[in-house]
Chain A
Amino acid sequence: MKRPELVLMELCVAALFIAALFQATSPELTGMVTSATSRVLIIRQDNVSCNISLVSGWNLASTSCEPANASTAAVLESINTTLISAHGYEPSGGLDRWKAYNPSLPNWTVQDLVNITRTKGYWLNLAQNSSLVHNGTWFSPSFVPLTTPWTLAGYPTNVSRDISVSLQDIVGSVQAVYLYNASDTADPWKVYYPAAPGLSDLNDTIPGFGLWFRVQGNSSWMVIW
């Protein structure tokens, strides 16, 4: 029977060993012990330039990396001349859940979409096709909070995945997922019902797109880069 101090010391050494292994392959790592006994969460991260292709009209978009300067004006600077408006959704916002930003409004208006983050999706209305480019940091994994009943979520990765694989950890709480692909003018809305895959036409989660989640019970969606 080992002494508890020895077991704890062995766990710490194992955690350091795992962190060192990741350090050898990844430019930057953040280690966090989430439980005193067993779980070590390794979050990888690196600085990148993020690029999202947008079309004229409404886009349901998200950025895959966390912006270096999160202010809405800074993140959207590259599309400022074509941007009509940007809208975010805060499930905890009471009766005022929508936050908006419109660069054409007079400077005395209070614009309440203050920041852009990788874990949220946004409606962007554009006057013409554009590319949104900003500097930021990618993280893996990222945790996207999902709130009952509706969340406008981001998809913080640069990898497309089969939606059943993407949602495998949270499928029990998800009722429906919606994606708006403005390029598909005939049928822009795609939907995925976990309980009825046969009725679904959303097959993949795709970088650059925001997702509307309809969920029962709050949860956290882990997205791997």
Chain B
Amino acid sequence: MVRRALLLVMLMLPLLAHAAFAIPPMPHEFHGIVVIDRQYAPVGTLVEVWDTEGVRCGSFALREPGFYGSLSCRGDDLTTAVDEGPRPGETVRFIVEGVRVETASMLWESGGFGEVNLLLGPVDGLELIRKPARVSTDMSQQLNRLLLFSMLFALTSGLSAWLVLPRGGRHD
């Protein structure tokens, strides 16, 4: 009986190994503004995200001054002994050029997105975060619409004036 049970376990082992596969988790994506000493961080500034166990889950080198992202922070594969990154609900920490930046608590979530603005230096640098030098997609689209409306208004006004106003010189 025991031998039969052992044989069954041995036969089942490869199947149990298959059942242990874990699909790669999607990362958490971060973006935001980086200000260092009242100035937008220069191109090349390195932003890193670490989990609470000291594992770096992602990084991003700035491609334009002051703005980072999308920074992918990969999660932990729960079927491996290695800690690849944070687990769901774990707090992540932000480091800019080797210096830890205090932020509001940010919890890792597979497939999540988060805006995290990073300030190093005097607090009045926050002004650059509150009034960013660049506008978002929505705002730029609104500006484009406003410009188009203004052009159409100018065109129709001009046409109306041309149709309504007398032409062909003075009438004495």
Contacts and interface: CB of A to CB of B under 8 A. Distances in A.
A95 B74 CA distance: 8
A144 to B, nearest CB: 17
A110 B43 CA distance: 14
A196 B135 CA distance: 55
A104 B115 CA distance: 12
A97 interface: yes
A100 B27 CA distance: 9
Interface in A114-163: 123, 125, 150
A102 B72 contact: no
A110 B70 contact: yes
A225 interface: no
Contact of A176 (B21, B26, B70, B134): B21
A70 B58 CA distance: 28
Contacts of B72: 96, 98, 100
A112 B70 contact: yes
Interface stretch (B61-69, B90-98, B152-160): B61-69
30 contacts: A87-B26, A95-B58, A95-B74, A96-B74, A97-B24, A97-B74, A98-B72, A100-B27, A100-B29, A100-B72, A102-B70, A102-B113, A105-B31, A105-B70, A105-B113, A106-B31, A106-B134, A106-B136, A106-B137, A108-B64, A109-B69, A123-B111, A125-B111, A150-B24, A175-B18, A176-B21, A193-B18, A195-B18, A196-B15, A196-B18
Contacts of B67: 106, 108-109
Interface of B: 14-15, 18-19, 21, 23-24, 26-27, 29, 31, 58, 63-64, 67, 69-70, 72, 74, 111, 113, 134-137, 140
A98 B71 CA distance: 11
A139 B122 CA distance: 59
Given A106-B136, A193-B15, A195-B18, 12 more contacts: A58-B111, A85-B111, A95-B58, A97-B24, A98-B74, A100-B72, A102-B113, A103-B137, A105-B113, A112-B70, A123-B111, A212-B23
**Interface size range of chain A in the complex:** 20 to 34
A107 interface: yes
Nearest to B133: A108
Contacts of A104: 137
Nearest to B57: A95
Nearest to A149: B21
Contacts of A87: 26, 111
Contacts of B69: 105, 109-110
A98 B137 contact: no
Name the 7 nearest CB pairs between A and B, nearest first.
Answer: A106-B136, A107-B137, A108-B67, A109-B69, A109-B31, A196-B15, A109-B70
A20 to B, nearest CB: 46
A111 B70 contact: yes
Contacts of A96: 58, 72, 74
